[in-house]
Structure 1
Amino acid sequence: MTSPPPRVGWYGLGSMGLGMSLNLQKHIKANALPPLRYSNRTLSKGDLLRDEGAVAEGKFEDLVQNSDVIFTMISMDDVLIELLNKALLVGDALKGKIFVDTSTIHPDTSEWAASRLNEHGADFITAPVFGASAVAAAGKLIFAVSGPAKAVTTVTPLIKDIMGRSIIDMGEDVQKSSLLKISGNILVISFMEVIAEAQVFAEVTGIGNQQLEEFIGNMFGPVLESYSKRITSGAYAPPLDTSPGFAAALASKDMKHALSIAASNGTRLPTLEVASSRLASAREYAGECLDSSAIYGTGRLEAGLPFWSEKSRQGN
């Protein structure tokens, strides 16, 4: 006798979570499975999900009660801790449930979550993703997954070729996926720092931003070229009514995690130290509606240029 398909829930409908959950609900609908149940601090952000047949839940506790697998995509560790503390109020009804967090959290948070949920017979999987919101919408994210093998086997069909193009298996230690994700962000933000430095150099020497960007694309490929375009297009300081691609506040949080973990292991991340300081200066100067690439604006200021470029917004 086959087991019934799991009832799936989703919490977190920001720029990443909405695209991911829409792909999941479309898969569920196409295969006549129980509809995705969703919740969010602002429930109206799920209207597109509702239109695809998903079912709204007003409270996270209700979402947990009515789901077997619960995905979360949130911005900060504190938010996840708050949500899981609410879930723990469900008590014995948590037994057998699987929680899958797809956001970037500190490995200590992952370990705490797994320990607390295990006390009630539930499993916790860390499954942070690599890719921007456009990649999420296209269902082409890369997932780094760690957690109990049986639980991972259960959720893999909900991820592969639906929300993600590939899965990196990080084993059963839930801290490992968090560490890989933070390592990946060390690279992403460090690349952005170096490209920002080179683009400021191109301006002050008269080389030209577009010519340098053409070289970056030809030499290093489309990924690093896309990082450069966030600078040259002005997206590092988008209009105040436009959400940044990788918000400066989230990048700062990720860098804080990386720097603290490095220090606790007796090493340093000098490039990230510079990027963190420059992004903090950018946020102080230009507010929170900034992309992580706003380190470029600080670099411009340090070179005697305006923070704002011709293609960015021109102030707050």
Structure 2
Amino acid sequence: MAAVAQHAIPFSRPATPGHAVYNIGFYGLGSMGYFMARNLAAHRAANTGSGPLFVYNRSSAKCVQLQKELGADKVRIADSAEQLVLECDVVFTSLASDAVVKAVYEKFADALKVRHHGKPIGAPTDQKQDSRGNEHDLPDAGSSGELDTILSNIPHTHLVTGPVFGPPAAAEAAKLICVLAGDYRSKKEVAHILVPAVGRKAMDLGGNLEKAPTFKLIGNSMILGSLEILAEAFTLSEKTGISASQTYELVKDMFPAPPFINYGNKMVTDSFDGKTGFAIDGGLKDATHVRRLVTEFNSPMPVVDAAHAHMLTARAIHAEQIRRNSAAYEVIDWSALIAGTRVAAGLDAFDSAQEVC
């Protein structure tokens, strides 16, 4: 197994003989989930000698693609969500919305209840540890308690909330930061499955399931703030006759953090394709969750308010372009919020090559 820095996993290895090689499942092969599942399957095959990763996706094409890429010895396609949860000891999910998350976990719970119904008391049962590994499109932190209620009455079943930090490129490179909250033993098992197979580091947010998604929102608020700062600086640069690309060079020298580098490049090159990044609808949802959180705790974040407004502006302009069949992209990335600052300053929303109005 690849060497991992001691600080990368805040948990000791599960004790032998308690530690076992589990059957692991993965539900959701979207822009993040595909890479996470691929890396997990490849790492397990190379380092643990375990069986294939079970995968399931509403669209089976992604499952077939992954199996073809890695081979049937590393990836097995489940026929249903119910089969996935019944045949696996640990199930990871990467899902699109609150409604989808709830529906999927209700299916899991129904299947597990049927499994346990009618068994003699004390009969052997599998330990199920469900971890939500979702990158950006994060369900509301309060929904974690609802999911726990759905699963908590099922014997030997534990929920671990597990959002991750990093864009699809970081998922592809297995460089995500994994944040875990929930039952301690379950987190310990999950952390050693995820690092280094999927991420470079795991963080422990304690036993309260809501803490991990709350922490994710705090992190995303910083990314939103970074986007807003970049958008305002690049727009001012263009208005003063200094190209945004020159200001971007300063960003790379002075602030070489991934959000500044990656999203700054998208802004200066007008690369707003949401299908290869993080769609603006997801950014608006995150901003809405953050604004609800700051309202609850009386902790203002005006930069998030500004970013939210500029994303709304960008989405409205893009929707009109779609109506007129003039949109460059079917879906726009949340870095397109720069359209809000550009329009306010009299510039073209999505084309930085246009002259100042």
TM-score interval, normalised by the smaller of the two chains: over 0.9
Structure showing greater Rg: 2
Q: Separation in 1 of the partners of 2:187 and 2:107?
A: 23
Aligned-residue offset at 1:58: 2.6
Q: Separation in 2 of the partners of 1:255 and 1:32?
A: 42
Tell me the equivalent position of 1:7. Answer: 23
Tell me the equivalent position of 1:143. Answer: 178
Within a 5 Å distance, the mapping from 1:248-263 to structure 2 comes to 248-263=280-295
Is 2:261 the partner of 1:225?
yes
Tell me the equivalent position of 1:117. Answer: 151
Is 2:342 the partner of 1:300?
yes
Tell me the equivalent position of 1:153. Answer: 188
Aligned-residue offset at 1:92: 5.4
> Aligned with 2:25: secondary structure?
strand
Q: Separation in 1 of the partners of 2:40 and 2:350?
A: 39
Q: Separation in 2 of the partners of 1:87 and 1:59?
A: 10
> Aligned with 2:51: secondary structure?
coil
Is 2:115 the partner of 1:93?
yes
Tell me the equivalent position of 1:18. Answer: 34
Is 2:269 the partner of 1:269?
no
> Is there any run of 5+ residues in structure 1 with no aligned partner, and where?
none
> Aligned with 2:200: secondary structure?
strand
Amino acid at match of 1:72: T
Tell me the equivalent position of 2:50. Answer: 33
Amino acid at match of 2:204: D
> Aligned with 2:35: secondary structure?
helix
Aligned-residue offset at 1:119: 1.3
Within a 5 Å distance, the mapping from 1:202-221 to structure 2 comes to 202-221=237-256
Q: Separation in 2 of the partners of 1:187 and 1:157?
A: 28
Q: Separation in 1 of the partners of 2:312 and 2:59?
A: 28
> Aligned with 1:257: secondary structure?
helix
Aligned-residue offset at 1:113: 1.1
Tell me the equivalent position of 1:132. Answer: 167
Residues 92 and 120 in structure 1, CA contact (< 8 A), matched pair in contact too: no
Residues 57 and 63 in structure 1, CA contact (< 8 A), matched pair in contact too: yes
Aligned-residue offset at 1:256: 0.8
> Aligned with 1:180: secondary structure?
helix
- What percent identity do the matched residue pairs reach? 27
Q: Separation in 2 of the partners of 1:244 and 1:252?
A: 17
Give CA deviations for 1:59-91 in whole Å, capped at 9, x if unaligned: 111111111100001121211111011112111
Tell me the equivalent position of 2:327. Answer: none
Amino acid at match of 1:291: D
> Is there any run of 5+ residues in structure 2 with no aligned partner, and where?
1-15, 117-124, 320-329
Aligned length: 308
> Aligned with 1:191: secondary structure?
helix
Q: TM-score, normalised by structure 1?
A: 0.93
Residues 8 and 37 in structure 1, CA contact (< 8 A), matched pair in contact too: yes
Q: Separation in 1 of the partners of 2:276 and 2:288?
A: 20
Q: Separation in 1 of the partners of 2:104 and 2:148?
A: 14
Tell me the equivalent position of 1:176. Answer: 211
Aligned-residue offset at 1:225: 2.4
> Aligned with 2:271: secondary structure?
coil
Q: Separation in 1 of the partners of 2:345 and 2:191?
A: 49
Amino acid at match of 1:115: T
Aligned-residue offset at 1:48: 3.4
Residues 36 and 171 in structure 2, CA contact (< 8 A), matched pair in contact too: yes
Is 2:222 the partner of 1:200?
no
Residues 146 and 170 in structure 1, CA contact (< 8 A), matched pair in contact too: yes
Residues 244 and 290 in structure 1, CA contact (< 8 A), matched pair in contact too: no
> Aligned with 1:174: secondary structure?
coil
Q: Separation in 2 of the partners of 1:249 and 1:125?
A: 26
Is 2:80 the partner of 1:44?
no
Q: Separation in 2 of the partners of 1:97 and 1:10?
A: 13
Is 2:225 the partner of 1:190?
yes
Aligned-residue offset at 1:259: 0.6
Q: Separation in 2 of the partners of 1:74 and 1:148?
A: 21
> Aligned with 1:162: secondary structure?
coil
Q: TM-score, normalised by structure 2?
A: 0.82
Tell me the equivalent position of 2:12. Answer: none
Q: Separation in 1 of the partners of 2:172 and 2:44?
A: 16
Q: Separation in 2 of the partners of 1:246 and 1:199?
A: 20
Tell me the equivalent position of 1:58. Answer: 79
Amino acid at match of 2:270: G
Residues 43 and 58 in structure 1, CA contact (< 8 A), matched pair in contact too: no
Give CA deviations for 1:223-262 in whole Å, capped at 9, x if unaligned: 22222111012122x3xxx714111011111111111111
Q: Separation in 2 of the partners of 1:193 and 1:310?
A: 16
Q: Separation in 2 of the partners of 1:292 and 1:56?
A: 33
Aligned partner of 1:108 among 142, 145, 148: 142
